[in-house]
Amino acid sequence: EDQVTQSPEALRLQEGESSSLNCSYTVSGLRGLFWYRQDPGKGPEFLFTLYSAGEEKEKERLKATLTKKESFLHITAPKPEDSATYLCAVQAGETSGSRLTFGEGTQLTVNP
């Protein structure tokens, strides 16, 4: 059974204090790993897709990396508007029609 574990559950940072969120996974045949951002009362917003170990993607202050067992979402010099819950999901299997398994998320708070 595919499993996704995100840590920490919650993280408080000061503005400008860089840190990383972790997503560890156990799947048979990773097809893709996905990061989403979710603001309170809203649906998740797609951020990144990573397909193979060693791959990195960047968007503004966010950088996602992938190894064979985990993914990190690095946040550099965060701002209060980066406060949100960050979700990780993995897709295993041979086709793009395979289901995703989501983690529970990391709730990030950035204080000014």
Partner 1 sequence: NAGVTQTPKFQVLKTGQSMTLQCAQDMNHEYMSWYRQDPGMGLRLIHYSVGAGITDQGEVPNGYNVSRSTTEDFPLRLLSAAPSQTSVYFCASSRSGLQPQHFGDGTRLSIL
User: Site residues (CB under 8 A) for partner 1?
Assistant: 4, 32, 34, 41-46, 49, 87, 89, 91, 96-105
Which lies closer to partner 1 via its Cβ, residue 46 or residue 58? Answer: 46
Q: How far is the CB of 100 from partner 1 (least distance, A)?
A: 6
Which lies closer to partner 1 via its Cβ, residue 22 or residue 32? Answer: 32
Q: Which one-letter amino acid corresponds to residue 60?
A: E
Q: How many CB atoms lie within 10 A of CB 112?
A: 7
State both tokens at 63: 């950088």
Which lies closer to partner 1 via its Cβ, residue 76 or residue 98? Answer: 98
Q: How far is the CB of 22 from partner 1 (least distance, A)?
A: 15
Q: What is the number of alpha carbons within 13 Å of residue 42 lying toward its C-beta?
A: 11
Q: How far is the CB of 37 from partner 1 (least distance, A)?
A: 11
